Amino acid sequence: MRRLVIATRRSRLALWQAEHVKQRLEALHAGLAVELLPLSTRGDEILDRRLDQAGGKGLFVKELENALADRRADLAVHSVKDVPADLPPGFVLAAVMAREDPRDALVSKSFETLASLPKGGVVGTSSLRRAAQIAERYPQLELKLLRGNVETRLAKLDRAEYDAIILAVAGLVRLGLASRIRSRLDVDDSLPAPGQGALGIECLAASGEVASLLEPLNDAATARCVQAERGVSQALGGSCAVPLGAYAEEAGTQLRLRALVASVDGRRIARADCRAADPAAVAADAVAELRRQGASEILSTLGT
């Protein structure tokens, strides 16, 4: 192939990610020309509701997948945390790139940590996962919906609509905004979403030539960790409607996988911390431990 088209969302972060993949592909494959196809997605357009109330994670990827199915694009670049655990038939994540810092970031003009916020301090997030973990540890804080792209969210903070907001470290770093980070939350305090910090490249399963071109971009270690994390999400019906976190990292020859499922108010949380060599096995162990601690009952209250 001498030409590839990347479907991407229009946000500055999404365009940065697609451009990053474009540059890597053109450097790897002499003579290959890569173009971007920016598209607007429902997830970008609906800003007055949480994603779980508007249709879930798929709102960020459906239009891109339509472009692949219609052959307007050859691949799509996603933040893996935005990709539903179950892909539609005929689609594959052909490559998972080396992960950026997976942690959540506290961004504030006045406060260094969540603990330093006063009683009634307003914290902005659109994530049920983040909100549940904050509510568990800091019940004195007020959680308020925060939607929009990174720049929009930062602007709302700067207008003093919030005392602090929680964003992914990876997005801020990629946009050159790491200086806005007041603190990086330890994974034990704010367990990341499955796949957070990693870029995934999706294509049609039948596009063998495209998958071959993408193969050098796949980072085996990150892909193993992401497989384990997404295995938890898949088994538990993970979506934007479920406060679910999962983070895996290599521990010698094994994977260490931490996972949680929470009630929306953070009053009930099931946690697992498991180790195994195989991504599917460690995911299964974590799911079994979460269910032993009452994850099924928690999920039933969420309508999952």
Catalytic residues: 82
Whole-angstrom distance, CA of residue 131 vs CA of residue 237: 19
Beta bridge partners of 91: 204
* Helical packing angle, 279-292 and 220-235, nearest 10°: 30
Tokens of 101: 């810092």
Residue type, 256: R
Residue entry with tokens 């679910």: 244
Question: What does each C-alpha distance from 38 to 8, 72, 98, 102 come to in angstroms?
Answer: 5, 11, 23, 25
